[in-house]
Amino acid sequence: MDLDTLCRRLPKAELHLHIEGTFEPELMFAIAARNGLRIPYGSVEEVRAAYEFDDLQSFLDIYYQGASVLLTEQDFHDLAWAYLQRAAADGVGHAEIFFDPQTHTDRGVAFETVLDGLWSALRRAEHELGMSSALILCFLRHLSPEAAMATLEQALPHRDRIVGVGLDSSERGRPPSLFREVFDRARAAGFRAVAHAGEEGPPAYVSEALDLLHVARVDHGVRAIEDEALMQRLVDDGVPLTVCPLSNVKLRVFDTLADHVLGRMLARGVRVTVNSDDPAYFGGYVAENFARTAEALHLGHAELATLAKNSFEASFLPPERIRQLCDEVDRFVAAHRES
Nearest-approach distance from CB 203 to ligand ADE, in angstroms: 16
Nearer to ligand ADE by Cβ, of 168 and 303: the residue is: 168
Q: Report the C-alpha gap between 7 and 243 in whole angstroms.
A: 16
Asked if residue 96 binds ligand ADE (CB under 6 A), the reply is no
Cα 203 → chain centroid: 20
Select the residue interacting with ligand ADE from 7, 8, 12, 18 (CB under 6 A).
18
Nearest-approach distance from CB 181 to ligand ADE, in angstroms: 21
Q: Say which residues have a Cβ less than 8 Å from residue 14's Cβ, sequence separation at least 6.
A: 87, 92, 94, 95, 96, 275, 276, 286, 311
Q: Say which residues have a Cβ less than 8 Å from residue 287's Cβ, sequence separation at least 6.
A: 4, 7, 8, 10, 90, 91
Coil vs helix vs strand at 119 = helix
Nearest-approach distance from CB 221 to ligand ADE, in angstroms: 12
Asked if residue 14 binds Zn ion (CB under 5 A), the reply is no
Please write down the long-range contacts of 300-304, taking CB distance under 8 Å and 24 or more positions apart: 300/338, 301/6, 301/333, 301/336, 301/337, 301/338, 302/333, 303/263, 303/266, 304/6, 304/7, 304/10, 304/333
- Tell me the per-residue interface mask from 252 to 281 with Zn ion, x by CB under 5 A, - otherwise: -------------------------x----
Nearest-approach distance from CB 53 to ligand ADE, in angstroms: 10
Q: Report the C-alpha gap between 72 and 85 in whole angstroms.
A: 20
Q: Say which residues have a Cβ less than 8 Å from residue 10's Cβ, sequence separation at least 6.
A: 91, 287, 290, 304, 305, 308, 329, 332, 333
Contact 131, 112 (CB under 8 A): no
- How many residues interact with Zn ion (rule CB under 5 A)? 1
Select the residue interacting with ligand ADE from 247, 275, 289, 293 (CB under 6 A).
247
What positions carry a catalytic annotation? 199
Asked if residue 100 binds Zn ion (CB under 5 A), the reply is no
275 binds, among Zn ion, ligand ADE, none (CB under 5 to 8 A by kind): none
Nearest-approach distance from CB 98 to ligand ADE, in angstroms: 7
Interior CA angle at 155 toward 85 and 279, to 5°?
Answer: 30
Nearest residue to 193 (alpha-carbon basis) of 209, 175, 204: 209
Nearer to ligand ADE by Cβ, of 18 and 260: the residue is: 18
Nearest-approach distance from CB 67 to ligand ADE, in angstroms: 10
Asked if residue 25 binds ligand ADE (CB under 6 A), the reply is no
Asked if residue 75 binds Zn ion (CB under 5 A), the reply is no
Asked if residue 73 binds ligand ADE (CB under 6 A), the reply is no
Nearer to Zn ion by Cβ, of 166 and 329: the residue is: 166
Asked if residue 21 binds ligand ADE (CB under 6 A), the reply is yes
Select the residue interacting with ligand ADE from 24, 73, 277, 313 (CB under 6 A).
277
Select the residue interacting with ligand ADE from 12, 94, 196, 292 (CB under 6 A).
196
Q: Which residues bind Zn ion (CB under 5 A)?
A: 277
